[in-house]
């Protein structure tokens, strides 16, 4: 079914098209000057010394886990209310994801649940800034320092967000970014790793390029690596998008404010907060929650009603520990996540992108209100 109003839509201008076309007129399509420029711009923006561009946010997470030496027998604390790649990256290295519950207001990891999950086998915490809302970094970083744990910030949904005036992605040992077409900025497919240590950064650069180090020849491989490179065309696109990021974030915040005003009369839904103390939100998606009396089947009927009308919408997120790929694993069977499970069955992501028009937003809200009313 074609969608009249898609769930997401990339914002590509002539500047991006010209930037990509300019690369195609050169003989440098990989590992060239645009890569170095994009990495430098990402590092400067996040106030981190090193950035390594890679082929996806998932690749970034995998390289972060691998480069920290996390492996079999180690535990990594992660939320279940997030995209599945967070846990997958832990399993790629045969470590164990330990799922923890979330704060019911911000939908980020609850620091008290993280504290309770730490054992002698815990090596790291993956802190996800869910939906672009900064996590409670003061409390989480204090826990990590107290227990000597590595911190991986998953800022894949949160580029441009800040916590106490500091960019997310600049707190941990390593951070990850993603540039899929539904993100605030896109490179088509792509991601990046932010690193504080020159040693970690150097190893990640080698790992993304088949284990090659700069001091080695092209066919000399110091360790087993991966093809996680990002093309020059993608980097050129990313540079053009990054230069527009303040405008993009302002546009997305305006769409969120528009939804907030339109949805205010509907008492049976909970709107996401527009503002939080000490935090600036980078709007990735706009997710509403149905009131507690609504069941998961009621939520799905509303979703189907909107989709029949050509309106893109989705469940955000289906918890990882309940996914078919994880449901029978020991890490899922041991998970006790009442907040995650209660909230996830009532969430609904509405169409959200930079250039969503007032008329389309009104159509979405009217369709949502009608679908809710039809259930009563």
> Is the distance from CB of 105 to CB of 272 less than 8 angstroms?
no
Q: Judging by beta carbons within 10 Å of its beta carbon (0-12, 13-18, 19+), is residue 319 exposed, middle or buried?
A: buried
Average pLDDT estimate for 281-300: 96
Separation of alpha carbons 215 and 221, rounded Å? 11
> Is the distance from CB of 200 to CB of 65 less than 8 angstroms?
no
The rounded Cα 338 to chain-centroid distance in angstroms is 23
**Smallest Cα–Cα separation from 109: which of 89, 139, 148?**
139
pTM (predicted TM-score): 0.97
CA atoms in the 13 A half-sphere facing the CB of 251: 16
Q: Treating both helix axes as pointing N-terminal to C-terminal, what angle do 232-243 and 33-46 enclose, rounded to 10 degrees? A: 40
Q: What is the pLDDT of residues 191-239, one digit of tens each?
A: 999 999 999 999 999 999 999 998 877 889 999 999 999 999 999 999 9
Separation of alpha carbons 175 and 167, rounded Å? 11
Average pLDDT estimate for 94-114: 98
**Residue 1: per-residue pLDDT:** 54
**Residue 141: per-residue pLDDT:** 98
**Residue 143: per-residue pLDDT:** 98
Look up residue 180 and give its two tokens.
């899929």
Distances (CA, A) of 212 to 34, 58, 183, 220, 286: 20, 21, 30, 6, 41
Could you give the angle at the alpha carbon of 276 between the alpha carbons of 306 and 267, nearest 5°?
40
Contacts of 191 (CB under 8 A, 6+ apart): 53, 54, 55, 56, 57, 58, 59, 60, 156, 176, 177, 178, 179, 230
Contacts of 372 (CB under 8 A, 6+ apart): 266, 268, 269, 290, 302
> Is the distance from CB of 200 to CB of 67 less than 8 angstroms?
yes
**Helix spans in the chain (H):** 14-24, 33-46, 57-67, 85-92, 111-117, 137-146, 198-208, 232-243, 245-263, 296-308, 330-333, 338-344, 358-374
Separation of alpha carbons 343 and 296, rounded Å? 10
CA atoms in the 13 A half-sphere facing the CB of 276: 21
Q: What is the pLDDT of residues 19-70, one digit of tens each?
A: 999 999 999 999 999 999 999 999 999 999 999 999 999 999 999 999 999 9
The rounded Cα 97 to chain-centroid distance in angstroms is 17
Catalytically annotated residues: 183
Q: What is the pLDDT of residues 177-190, one digit of tens each?
A: 999 999 999 999 99
> Is the distance from CB of 141 to CB of 151 less than 8 angstroms?
yes
Q: DSSP state, 248?
A: H
Q: What is the pLDDT of residues 244-283, one digit of tens each?
A: 999 999 999 999 999 999 999 999 999 999 999 999 999 9
> Is the distance from CB of 323 to CB of 340 less than 8 angstroms?
no
The rounded Cα 21 to chain-centroid distance in angstroms is 28
The rounded Cα 342 to chain-centroid distance in angstroms is 22
**Residue 182: per-residue pLDDT:** 97
Task: State the average pLDDT for the chain.
Answer: 97
Helix H, strand E, coil C: the string for 58-109 is HHHHHHHHHHCCCCCCCEEEEECCCCCHHHHHHHHCCCEEEEECECCCCCCE
Separation of alpha carbons 110 and 139, rounded Å? 9
**Residue 309: per-residue pLDDT:** 96
């Amino acid at each position: 079914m074609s969608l009249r109003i898609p769930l997401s839509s990339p914002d590509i201008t002539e500047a991006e098209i010209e930037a990509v076309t300019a690369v195609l007129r050169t003989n440098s399509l990989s590992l060239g000057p645009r890569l170095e420029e994009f990495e430098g711009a990402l590092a400067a923006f996040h106030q981190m010394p090193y950035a390594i561009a890679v082929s996806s946010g998932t690749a970034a997470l995998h390289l972060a886990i691998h480069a920290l030496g996390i492996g079999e027998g180690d535990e990594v604390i992660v939320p279940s209310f997030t995209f599945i790649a967070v846990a997958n990256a832990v399993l790629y290295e045969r470590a164990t994801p330990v799922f923890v519950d979330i704060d019911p207001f911000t939908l980020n990891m609850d620091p008290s649940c993280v504290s309770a999950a730490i054992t002698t086998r815990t090596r790291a915490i993956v802190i996800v800034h869910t939906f672009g809302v900064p996590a409670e970094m003061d409390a989480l970083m204090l826990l990590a320092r107290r227990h000597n744990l590595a911190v991986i910030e998953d800022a894949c949904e949160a580029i441009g967000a800040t916590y106490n005036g500091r960019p997310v992605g600049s707190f941990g040992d390593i951070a990850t970014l993603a540039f899929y077409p539904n993100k605030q900025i896109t490179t088509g497919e792509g991601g990046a790793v932010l690193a504080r240590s020159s040693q970690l950064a150097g190893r990640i650069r080698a790992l993304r390029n088949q284990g090659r180090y700069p001091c080695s020849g092209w066919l000399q491989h110091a360790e087993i690596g991966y093809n996680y490179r990002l093309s020059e065309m993608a980097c050129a696109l990313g540079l053009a998008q990054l230069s527009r990021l303040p405008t993009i974030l302002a546009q997305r915040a305006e769409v969120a404010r528009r939804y907030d005003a339109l949805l205010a009369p509907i008492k049976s839904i909970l709107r996401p907060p527009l503002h939080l103390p000490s935090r600036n939100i980078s709007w990735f998606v706009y997710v509403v929650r149905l009131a507690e009396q609504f069941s998961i089947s009621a939520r799905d009927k509303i979703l189907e009603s909107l989709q029949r009308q050509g309106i893109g919408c989705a469940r955000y997120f289906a918890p990882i520990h309940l996914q078919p790929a994880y449901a029978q694993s020991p890490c899922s069977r041991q998970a006790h996540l009442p907040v995650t499970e209660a909230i996830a069955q009532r969430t609904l992501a509405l169409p959200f992108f930079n250039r969503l028009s007032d008329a389309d937003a009104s159509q979405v809200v009217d369709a949502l209100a009608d679908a809710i009313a039809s259930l009563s």
